[in-house]
Structures are given as C-alpha cells and as structure tokens.
Amino acid sequence: SHIMSEYVRMTDTERDQIDQDAQIFMRTCADAIHQLRTEAHKGVQSSQVKEHRTAVLDFIEDYLKRVCKLYSEQRAIRVKRVIDKKRL
C-alpha cells in the first residue's frame, strides 16, 4: 500500500528517466562484463584460474540477464497500464 502510493506520485517523466538510466546502466554492465571476459583470457594463467574466472563471469552475466528480464517485465506492466488507461 505504501509502495503503491509512492508509485502513483511518480510522474511519467520521472519514470521515463528511470527507464533510460536503467537501460544505460544495463548496457554499461554488459560491456564491462565483456571487457572483463576479454581481459580474463589474456596472459598466462593456470587452467584452474581461467576456469574460475570464466565461472565467475558466467555467474555475473547470468545475474545481469535475470535483472534485465525483471526490468523488461516491469516495463511491460507499465506499458500495459498506459494502454489500458488510454482505452478508458
């Protein structure tokens, strides 16, 4: 209830800004993961270190994908609400 009341008070401009910032942040994170993956495979290291770094980066990348999916679902709900309001 308290969360919903704050949600209603947010303007569409504020929501658009949050969406834009979130997309930029997710893209930045994906780029950083890609860069880390490239750097992790450079240099001479043991196979155990390479496997560990690959596993950690896979985990981080999977987490980012789940966050992006959640964001997309939330955005879809927002778009649906806007469309439903226009129909009324």
More confident residue, 3 or 34: 34
Task: Pull the structure tokens for residue 83.
Answer: 């469309």
pLDDT in tens, 52-70: 999 999 999 999 999 999 9
Report the predicted TM-score, pTM, of the whole model to 2 decimal places: 0.76
**Tell me, what's the pLDDT at 12?**
81
The vertex-78 CA angle with 6 and 60, nearest 5°, equals 90
For residues 73 and 59, give the distance between their C-alpha atoms in angstroms, rounded to a whole number.
21
Residues in the chain: 88
AA letter at 71: Y
For residues 71 and 22, give the distance between their C-alpha atoms in angstroms, rounded to a whole number.
8
pLDDT in tens, 4-54: 555 567 788 888 899 999 999 999 999 999 999 998 888 767 889 889 999
Q: In the predicted model, is pLDDT for residue 2 greater than 60? A: no
